Structure 1
């Protein structure tokens, strides 16, 4: 078990701080659910952790994290529309840690036609394809940003099963979503972007089971009321 300590998380846009001088501890073996209102900084935080955008201040991470440890499914999936699915799936086979057979089998599981052009896929199919590609890498960190829009109930159950199967003592999942009810049963920790008692942006980590024992209802119901 390894705990990664990340200090000095700081990001502001147009003179509005999303978070400033915040710390986050991430431990292998945990599935973190990242929640917060629209505009609270969920996607920004994932991008900082994935090293696709810069933190506003010098960030401190111990032990260090390099990009080869990270697999990132972004919320906005940008593909080359002229490519076929099969071409995109094969494109990554030269990347270290990529499992082509896993990707092909999961495309089949989700009934994604390998011979379809990317431009002809539905939004749901594009989400599923992005998820499959992210999960096809052997990585320490899996950052999944808004996996569920446009995905039907049967497929979201398969997605959750894939995460549970992939999750283990050597990796960390962070899943950013508004659909708390879809993941509160499989997540072990919460990362919450919210306001503190002074109305200032805050970043709080909570243990899901400990929180659930104190609540009369679901975790989702609690945060729907708390984050209003």
Structure 2
């Protein structure tokens, strides 16, 4: 039986932010953030548009490197470690798919890149297709399915990667209510003591359902809260009355 995703474990698997700052012109979006992301948690990253959520995710993925401070993984600076040794997965809000490959073909291609055996690839794909209720769409091309289905295919492809560190940017944005429930359950099923999941989203209902920790970005600072200690009114007060939830 194939064991899914258990790629590394231990206390050293935390991601450490050490005095992270980033400016765009005169605007300081991130201001000396120090924080530890620990395995076993689903983090909900919350903030107004322009607060720096996507910037922080891009720093974690090394898409943005011209910033102050360090990001450490296994105690190593991620900007020095070889890219191939950094098993982080970023799943964005806009699906990037091959238009001439079916969903199944795209997933098999990713499994081949990850050097999975055909047997393991098929088992893993079937598992994710069932989790995300994609079975009936597996032989469809991207142009033939809805935006919500495209996003679920996008999430499935990202989760085929061998990693225990996943970053999601607005995963619920194009989903209908039934699809949102499906993806929420997938996040919960995907949780383990060795895995870090960081979800940036405006969907507070979904974050309340699945997250262990809220991380609120405000004025360049990262504030941590337990979901049970913070209701929607308090979140709105913290991040601004015009927040679009």
- Common fold: TM-score over 0.5: yes
Match status 1:104 vs 2:104: no
Matched with 1:216 is none
SS of residue in 2 equivalent to 1:23: strand
SS of residue in 2 equivalent to 1:185: helix
Match status 1:191 vs 2:203: no
TM-score relative to the length of structure 1: 0.84
Match status 1:133 vs 2:157: yes
Instruction: Label 1:188 to 1:202 Cα distance change in 2 as closer, same or farther (>3 A).
Output: same
Instruction: Label 1:140 to 1:110 Cα distance change in 2 as closer, same or farther (>3 A).
Output: same
Matched with 2:144 is 120
Equivalent residue for 1:25, pick from 36, 41, 65: 36
Matched with 1:74 is 92
**Contact 1:9/1:55, CA 8 A, preserved across alignment:** no
**Contact 2:184/2:209, CA 8 A, preserved across alignment:** no
Instruction: Label 1:134 to 1:97 Cα distance change in 2 as closer, same or farther (>3 A).
Output: farther
Alignment RMSD? 2.3
Matched with 1:148 is 172
Poorly superposed stretches of 4+, deviation over 6 Å: none
| Structure 2 gaps, min length 5 | 1-9, 241-245
**Contact 1:8/1:22, CA 8 A, preserved across alignment:** yes
Match status 1:157 vs 2:181: yes
Deviations 1:7-38 (Å, cap 9, x if unpaired)? 13222223322102211211111110000001
Instruction: Label 1:120 to 1:11 Cα distance change in 2 as closer, same or farther (>3 A).
Output: farther
Number of residues of Structure 1 aligned to a counterpart in Structure 2 = 216
| Structure 1 gaps, min length 5 | 196-200, 213-218
Equivalent residue for 2:197, pick from 162, 170, 173: 173
Whole-angstrom distance in 1 between the partners of 2:115 and 2:33: 32
TM-score relative to the length of structure 2: 0.78
Matched with 1:16 is 27
**Contact 1:97/1:137, CA 8 A, preserved across alignment:** no
Displacement, 1:42? 1.0
Matched with 2:222 is 203
**Contact 1:97/1:139, CA 8 A, preserved across alignment:** no
Instruction: Label 1:41 to 1:137 Cα distance change in 2 as closer, same or farther (>3 A).
Output: same
